[in-house]
Structure 1
Amino acid sequence: MNAYVPAPPLPTDLDGYRIDIDAARERADIVLARPPMNTISMRQREQLRQTFEALDEDDRVRVIVLRAEGEHFSSGGFIKGFLEASPEHVSKLAWNIAAPARCSKPVIVANRGYTFGVGFEISLACDFRIVSETCQYALPEQKLGQIPGSGGSARLQKIVGITRTKDIVMRSKRIPGRQALDWGIATECVPDAELEAATDRLVDELRGFSPMAQRTAKKLLNDTEDSTLSIAIELEGHCYSRLRQSDDFKEGVLAFHEKRAPNFKGS
């Protein structure tokens, strides 16, 4: 018998952000709160990882939203922090910033204004990117004699291909919101005043689906991103078969035939 493992606690004394949990809406917001540029410190990266891991185990939360105060999502990391950090600490950067991707629950990021460096990288690790027309994505590390170090170039290449990734990374090129949508980086692009409303709509939409089906879909898609087509189809079949045994699938079929909205329980 497996021993019970309690959910990890949310970190305290938060560095540069806050956590808002709305249990009635089954939503948790991680809000970058170091305006005007919302720079992300080394300590903050570690705390963000801990926060995603804790919220992933929080039964009150169905959907996680990453957003920021002010007109800019984040101008990136503290530059001096890279010189001061130990090699061991630097080696954990990509793992910390990949926390949204490892999280089993849907993660939405709302981007406006500057979304540079690690701000862009953590956004790429989220499942849905809702952008304002003011959003500008960039990986400016070439200007510092560096390259992206938290998964940015690797994730971006999966989305837009090597030619566009070289254009963005090797020229430190800025990509505005509308172009990000056209290139498949953004899920949706809206006028700046509508960013919060668009995010709210997506949260409510995702809450209407089966939590188990959502978790399964996210894990399957993440796990098969680099697999062959035949392996992906095989794994999809196993996941489909498992979900057929769930209470949520039975409820979904029953609701379909009764022409009503399903009441999913996550079991």
Structure 2
Amino acid sequence: MEFDGFSVAVDAAGQRGDIILDRGEFNTISMDERDELRAAFEILDRDPRVRVIVLRAAGEHFSSGGFIRGFLEAAPELVSKLADNVAAPARCEKPVIAANRGYTFGVGFELSLACDFRIASETVQYALPEQRLGQIPGSGGSARLQKIVGITRTKDIVMRSRRIKADQALAWGIATEVVPDDRLEAATDALVAELVTFSPIAQRTAKRLLNETEECHLGTAIELEGHCYSRLRQSDDFREGVLAFHEKRPPQFKGS
């Protein structure tokens, strides 16, 4: 399939699917591309060959953000779907990794925030620059960021259109890991290789539980965690994990 501004690759042997942003030097993201990105995440989430999804980009910048003129040209019905499209990585049952380098602005940052892991190059700069356009983030960026760094730091980033570099992103919990620029691909590969060793059903359960209990009262979250734990006790993967531990061998998880 041909996509608008990106490509998709599946490595069946590595059990990974990649979405690669590729639109010129700054990888701007068009309005139509957002719909296609959502569809690509959904396709990879259903692909049985894929255990982990990676969102990355060609070139020295992940994305400078959206195609600005597109906001003026887009119909209100399309604009109202922006946040839903950008939330596609969070809705995926499988783990999603964002590999960020260089400019990671606007919708590029919002897409990355919707992923489970953000591996950042030392060259990364994160920003939500919409205030410079007389606008605010419209695809979940300020809301997701506030959950990660709190209201004070989010106001500092959003209301000042402030750029956050790699070391600060790591200190504030925005980035999962920061690596030298020439090690970004290797670090992403290593995380994929680690994640595929775990039980697919346990990974899906953990992601859904963490996402759905983020807003819960502590007691409710603990109760839901207990229900999930109880269900997983009945799984083939849990039995295999216990047997492998006692037999001192790597487990062979099947996802059931």
Q: TM-score, normalised by structure 1?
A: 0.95
Q: 1:207 aligns with which of 171, 196, 203?
A: 196
Tell me which residue corresponds to 2:230: 241
Matches within 5 A, 1:46-195: 46-195=35-184
Cα shift at 1:178 = 1.1
Percent identical among aligned pairs is 77
Aligned residue for 1:25, secondary structure, equals coil
CA distance in 1, matches of 2:33, 2:83: 13
Q: Could you tell me how far apart the structure 2 residues matched to 1:24 and 1:260 are?
A: 22
Letter in 1 for 2:56: R
The C-alpha deviation readout for 1:9-32, integer Å capped at 9, x for no partner, is xxx330000001000110000000
Runs of at least 4 residues of structure 1 off by over 6 A?
Answer: none
Q: Which runs of 5+ in 1 are unaligned?
A: 1-11
Amino acid at match of 1:112: R
The one-letter code matched in structure 2 to 1:174 is R
Q: How many residues align?
A: 256
Letter in 1 for 2:10: I
Secondary structure at the aligned position of 1:185 is classed as coil
Give CA-to-partner distance per residue, 1:129-181, whole Å, 9 cap, x none: 00000000000000000000000000000000000000000000000011100
Partner of 1:218: 207
Report the AA paired with residue 35 of structure 2: E
- Rounded Cα–Cα distance in structure 2 between residues aligned with 1:170 and 1:113: 22
Aligned pair partner of 1:256 in 245, 251, 255: 245
- Match of 2:156, SS state, is helix
Per-residue deviation, 1:183: 0.3
Residue of 223, 231, 236 corresponding to 2:220: 231
Q: Give the distance between the partners of 1:147 and 1:132, measured in 2 at CA.
A: 26
**1:228, 1:85 → 2: CA distance?**
39
Give the drift of 1:35: 2.1
The C-alpha deviation readout for 1:97-156, integer Å capped at 9, x for no partner, is: 000000000000000000000000000000000000000000000000000000000000
SS in 1 for 2:85: helix
1:168-217 deviation line (CA, Å, top 9, x unaligned) = 00000000011100000000000000000000000000000000000000
